[in-house]
Amino acid sequence: MIELRPYQKQAVDAVYNHLRNHNDNPVVVIPTGGGKTPLMATLCSDAVNIWSGRVLILAHVKELLEQTYNTLTGIAPQLHVGLHSAGLKRKDTEHPVIIAGIQSVYRKAFELDPFDLVIIDEAHLIATSGEGMYLSFLRDAKIVNPNIRIVGCTATPYRTGTGMICGPDNILNEICYEVGIKELIRDGYLCPLRSKASKTRIDTSGLHIRGGEFIANELEDLMDTDARVKAACAEILEYTQDRRAVLIFAAGVDHGKHIQKILQEEYKVDCGFVSGDSPDGWRKKMIDDFRGGKLKYLCNVNVLTTGFDAPNIDCIAMLRPTMSPGLYYQMTGRGFRLHESKKDCLVLDFGGNILRHGPVDCLRVSDAAVKGNGDAPAKECPECSEIIHAAYARCPVCGYEFPPPEKTKHEASASTEGILSDQASVNEYPVEEVLYNVHTKKGAKTESPRTMRVQYKIGFASYISEWICFEHTGFARQKAEVWWNQRSSESAPDQSDMAVFFAQNGRLKEPVKITVKHIPGQKFDKIISYQFENPELSEWQFDKTVPDYVQADDSIPF
């Protein structure tokens, strides 16, 4: 039996609900380190054991394939899982679940037996148009089995230069479930991140942009000067005296080797280096030594981003400016995983990425941000160089008091966040979507009352939650009835699953705006008012027999 965290269970339920009720292909968005593999293992197990289906998991790098294979077989040993990857020297073709490298199979859809379900890890790599490997394979796989369904998993559902990966004409059509970074950090599932700016300022204004990103050779020329590399190495050592695993991102191969040379020759510090040109055996040794604690510093170029898993990383040093919010997220996301040796992960930013894209746990993605323009909601403390949200009135690290902002004709989107260090704040947010699920408190006894958790989406991967206590008594139940009566003319249900069933089937009015009160030091923000458009409730009635909506049933279309 696969043990899922509450949000992983919600994600599984959302996938099943989407596949039952839509004819297109959904995406699940879970932050790096949030655990996509247990989700994929559950989908595979149900597809094979309940519906006698066949599943293909696609990924793009052998480290990710190997990691997924080891994790999947570890948490679901009853599944017969095969590997198909030239890089891993395996070409399994007949297992009910196959994990494959897209480079190895993209021309082989007609040679493999039909699949009923395809799960794509790191789904943001699928091109939205053209003749990419994913598109080529999936087109052919759909010819082999016209009823094939596709589920995408990613932490970053967008591509630089083209925007969101979902659309009516794309392979992936709709995000069916999202959970935010802040929420998982708050609930103890991800490691908190801190961020520092470099003392040396890098001016990228002279760089040209192609395809939404800095031109590679211009970027490396800018970063790879002796003075800049020496200054960066000195800062890295200064900030990492008490850190145990420091992952460095360089702007190019020569730049990365330069960083390694300065650390080793001038500071007598052992530093590994890997790039796409590194021999497989050498790359594996460097990664194993780094994961195992034998190597404290590891520099890389375009290798250890997507899919790289080293939970002990407690410092990220970005010596690579990027215009891509996805790459920025993937770099910083290497530090999200929990590990017994760390209480947080320090992000050292030598390329202005945090100021460009926003704080690492408050990343805001819009079409403007994805395409390389728009303001980022962050600022740097002039006293301690901590990079914090733009709405802070006082630095939470050193206490520096920021002067009042000058009035400007430009709209300051960060000001709506209301994140202040020394006082309560009240802000109004438009609601993009409302999600409902049954919630059982962590560690609660079986007989304990459940609640209905309501999540209001107020931005990319940003949610405000509240818990409605239908199964409780006293004041909690009274509040639940008031909440329900705002949204429905029917009597409030006694069970949370009944309430969720009604809500998910459109029986509740939903607010278009919510007003939220934030009080520093409190774990959760409080919703203090709702604004409705007051649509008329439909007259049709439900059968009051509610199915066990969180369990798989035979209506899944594979």
Q: How confident is the model at residue 249 (pLDDT cuts 50, 70, 90)?
A: very high
Residues 330, 156 contacting (CB under 8 angstroms): yes
Q: Which structure tokens are listed for 538?
A: 């439909």
Q: What is the pLDDT of residue 462?
A: 72
Q: Rounded to whole angstroms, how far apart are CA atoms 491 and 501? A: 14
pTM: 0.69
Query: What CATH number is given for 191-376 in this structure?
Result: 3.40.50.300
Residue 211 falls in which region: left (phi positive, over 0), alpha (psi -120 to 50) or beta: left
Q: What is the pLDDT of residue 130?
A: 65
- Three-state SS for 91? strand
Per-state percent for the chain, helix, strand, coil, to nearest 5: 30, 20, 50
Taking only the tens place, the pLDDT of each residue in 311-366 is 999 999 999 999 888 888 889 989 999 999 999 999 999 988 888 877 666 555 54
- Under DSSP, the state recorded for 262 is I
Spatial CB neighbours of 13, under 8 Å, sequence gap ≥ 6:
437, 549, 550
DSSP string over 379-398: EE-TTT-BEEETT-SB-TTT
Mean pLDDT of 542-556: 38
Query: Structural domain boundaries of the chain?
Result: 6-185, 191-376, 428-531
> What is the rounded average pLDDT for all residues in the chain?
82
pLDDT above 70 coverage of the chain, percent: 82
Taking only the tens place, the pLDDT of each residue in 36-66 is 889 999 999 999 989 889 999 998 877 788 8
Q: Is the pLDDT of residue 420 over 70?
A: no
CATH 3.40.50.300 fits 6-185, yes or no: yes
Q: Is the pLDDT of residue 274 over 70?
A: yes
Q: How confident is the model at residue 386 (pLDDT cuts 50, 70, 90)?
A: low
| Sequence letter at residue 66 | E
